Amino acid sequence: MKDMKTILIHLCIITVTLFSLSGCSDFLDEKPEGNTGTTGNFYKNKEDIEYALTAAYANLQAGAMYKEYMVLMTDVRSDDLGSFANTGGNAGREYSIKIFTAQSDNQIFRSVWQKTYETIYRCNNVIYHIDIVKDSKLKLQYEAEARFLRALCYFNIVRFWGDAPLILTPLTATEVAECERNKVADIYAAIETDLQFASDANNLPKVFTGKNSGRATSLAAKALLGKVYLQEKKWQAAKQSLGELINTDNVGTHTLLPDIANVFSTAPVQGSSASDFKNYTGWSPQTMNKEILFEVIFDKDIAGEGRNALTYYANQADLNEAFKLSNAAQCIYHSSDRRADLMRSMKGTNTDNNLLVKYADIQSTLEQYGYNTPVLRWADVLLMYAEACNEVSFDNSATSPALLALNDVRTRSYAAGAYTGNQLSDQDTFRDAIFLERRLEFPMEMQRWFDLIRSGNAINELSKIGIIIDKDDLLFPVPNSEVTLRDNPDKFPQNPGY
């Protein structure tokens, strides 16, 4: 199998052949009818399928996805950021998302919608033409990878917008323009089906190594399936899926790293303070580690494969008071918690932008950064499992699976912080402790907004930083271009409140 970086050379060809819509006005009406890839003009062998699949992976690196806007739609939208210094940047579009005044004409919503559906389109083409691959093992692997990526995209869509078009095959422009907004339940059912296929170890390896690190695995699919069940509040299904992952499927593969700083750093970590990073001279490309199940990989030494410094959380003054280490009265970290240092700001060199220590890096000669974007890591699996167990049946005994999983994550960074059963005396208190631990563990990892939605605490928590919202604000507006294209309020309505 070709390594992923080599395959990326071919993306320009793929982009033309698959009618990539970057820069086009709308994903729904820009695919030329009769040229959606279903004619077989491009797909002739397994190499074509492999290139097409890598093109889908490459989309995750886009600015409208995990390079930038996914952070804006989640971390910035949440209460992890208390303020937003650059109010005029990007014509105020980003700031308006932070303060919940953005409307359906905001270009950022359109970009995220478009790029996400473009990725789905690429996955659909891989799945539709998968029979071209004659190697049965490779055929299952490629299909499972495409299904994982498609499920991830639809999971983001359904959490951002609710009802949405559910497109599972390549369609012509006319067919796409006739799509309606499918119900949330139907989208989740499709997501579950894709992830059940991808999480089967007969279809997808448990781990990739070497040059293929970064591909989706069956363990990543199982973790994502657990997260999907959790978001649906299918507690028993989540407990079963995540329990199998932890107790059976994962054996010997993923684990918590002893030092959380090493999960993220592009350099060996000694103390994780800003001065440690600034004085370190041996920066190297970030690599996958045993805590990461899936992440979006960037390479600052390859043109176009790196990223810019994200200014959303570069200035610690913008962080919620809960993360300001100088504010002892409100900071949620104990002074001995290793995670606290990761929320400091630093510069790699005098010419570098500010970055949180969590994402510490210095620019390459191409003026790019190379830190990766974690999507699924083992700490998340453990805390999701604790949440599912607690919701199924409250148990605060010393042998409680929920308590053990919660304390595994907590004591990794705060050795003296283990909870006792007496401290978590009822289900509500236990639930609150889990969500607090998630906030301590995952700031600026695109988790908080979705946690606020799942817990039902978004309205209350946003009010604490002076942002007043109502239930309509829990979904984003559907891009106006999509609504006006249909001009059918019955089949393709705008979300309430917009």
pLDDT tens column, 174-227: 899 999 999 999 999 999 999 999 999 999 999 998 889 899 999 999 999 999
pLDDT score at 18: 35
Beta-strand pair 345-346/373-377: unpaired
pLDDT band at 357 (very low <50, low <70, confident <90, very high): confident
Q: Residue 36 above 80 pLDDT? A: no
Collapsing DSSP to helix, strand or coil, 307 comes out as strand
- 248 confidence band (pLDDT: 50, 70, 90): very high
User: Residue range 147-172: average pLDDT?
Assistant: 97
Give the per-residue pLDDT at 352.
Answer: 65
pTM of structure: 0.89
- The mean pLDDT value for 31-41 works out to 40
Q: How does strand 355-356 pair with strand 373-377?
A: unpaired
How far is the C-alpha of 352 from the C-alpha of 105, rounded, in Å?
34
Those residues with Cβ within 8 angstroms of residue 26's Cβ, 6 or more apart along the chain or in another chain: 110, 114, 481, 482, 485
Structure-block tokens of residue 303: 């043109």
Of 170, 80, 188, nearest to 117 by C-alpha is 170
To the nearest whole number, what is the mean pLDDT of the chain? 86
What's the pLDDT score for residue 29?
Answer: 27
Please report how the helices 401-413 and 378-392 are oriented relative to each other, as an axis angle in degrees rounded to 10.
Answer: 150
> How many whole angstroms separate alpha carbon 87 and alpha carbon 437?
30
What is the model's pLDDT at position 288?
Answer: 81
| Confidence tier at 471 by pLDDT (50, 70, 90) | very high
- Does the pLDDT at position 245 exceed 50? yes
**Which one is predicted more confidently, 308 or 203?**
203
Q: For residue 350, what pLDDT is reported?
A: 60
DSSP bridge partners of 294: 376
Which amino acid type is present at position 149? L
Q: Is a pLDDT exceeding 90 seen at residue 439?
A: yes
**Does residue 127 or residue 357 have the better pLDDT?**
127
Q: Answer yes or no: is pLDDT of 369 > 90.
A: no
What's 295's DSSP letter?
Answer: E
Note the pLDDT of residue 341.
Answer: 82
- Dist. CA 66–CA 279, nearest whole Å: 29
The per-residue pLDDT for 429 is: 98
* Contact between residue 320 and residue 79 where contact means Cβ atoms under 8 Å apart: yes
Can you give the pLDDT at residue 322?
83
Q: How far is CA 322 from the centre of its chain?
A: 23
| Cα–Cα distance, 227 to 241 (Å, whole number) | 9
pLDDT at 321: 80
Rg (CA), the chain: 22
**Position 373, amino acid:** T
Question: What token pair was written down for 435?
Answer: 């969500």
Question: Domain extents for the chain?
Answer: 4-182+482-486
374/111 Cα distance (integer angstroms): 21
Output the pLDDT for position 31. Answer: 32
CA-wise closest residue to 238 among 250, 258, 222, 214: 222
pLDDT band at 349 (very low <50, low <70, confident <90, very high): low
Q: pLDDT-derived band of residue 282, with 50, 70 and 90 as boundaries?
A: low
pLDDT reported for residue 280: 54
Indicate the residue type of 242: L
Could you tell me what percent of the chain has a pLDDT over 90? Answer: 67
Percent of the chain with pLDDT over 70: 84
Q: State the Cα–Cα distance between residues 126 and 50, nearest whole angstrom.
A: 8
Strands 345-346 and 292-296, by their bridges, are: unpaired
Other residues' Cβ atoms within 10 Å of the Cβ of residue 276: 18
What H or E segment, with its residue span, contains residue 345? strand 345-346
The pLDDT of residue 315: 60
Task: Output 412 or 347, whichever has higher pLDDT.
Answer: 412
- The full DSSP string for 2-57 is --HHHHHTTHHHHHHHTT--TTSS-TTT-S-TT-SSTTSSS--SHHHHHHHHHHHH
Contacts of 104 (CB under 8 A, 6+ apart): 477, 478, 479, 480, 483, 494, 498
What pLDDT was estimated at residue 261? 84
Residues 97-125 have pLDDT tens digits of 999 999 999 999 999 999 999 999 999 99
Structure tokens at 332: 């949620």
Average pLDDT over residues 62-78: 94
**Separation between Cα atoms, residue 75 and residue 72, nearest integer Å:** 6
User: What is the average per-residue pLDDT within 29-58?
Assistant: 70
Q: How far apart are CA 262 and CA 272, in angstroms?
A: 9
* Amino acid, res. 65: M
- Which CA distances in Å does 288 have to 52, 217, 262, 264, 295? 23, 13, 11, 9, 8
Q: What is the pLDDT of residue 284?
A: 56
The Cα–Cα gap between 367 and 181 comes to 42
Residue pair 447/437 in contact by the 8 Å Cβ criterion? no
Which of 2, 16, 82, 154 is closest to 323 using CA atoms? 82
The tally of CA atoms less than 13 A away on the side-chain side of residue 6 is 7
Average of per-residue pLDDT across 22-26: 30
Between the alpha carbon of residue 45 and those of residues 13, 81, 231, the distances in Å are 15, 48, 38
- Residue in the block written with tokens 């563990």: 441
pLDDT average, residue stretch 305-321: 74
The residue written with tokens 């996914």 in the block is 70
Residue 427: CB atoms within 10 Å:
15
When pLDDT is averaged across residues 369-377 and rounded to a whole number, the result is 92
- Two tokens, residue 288: 């996958």
Task: Tell me which CATH code domain 4-182+482-486 carries.
Answer: 1.25.40.390
* Mean pLDDT along residues 269-280: 50
CB 497 within 8 A of CB 472: yes
Q: Quote the pLDDT of residue 35.
A: 34
Give me the pLDDT at residue 279, please: 54
Per-residue pLDDT at 385 exceeds 60:
yes
- At residue 348 the predicted structure's pLDDT band, cuts being 50, 70 and 90, is low
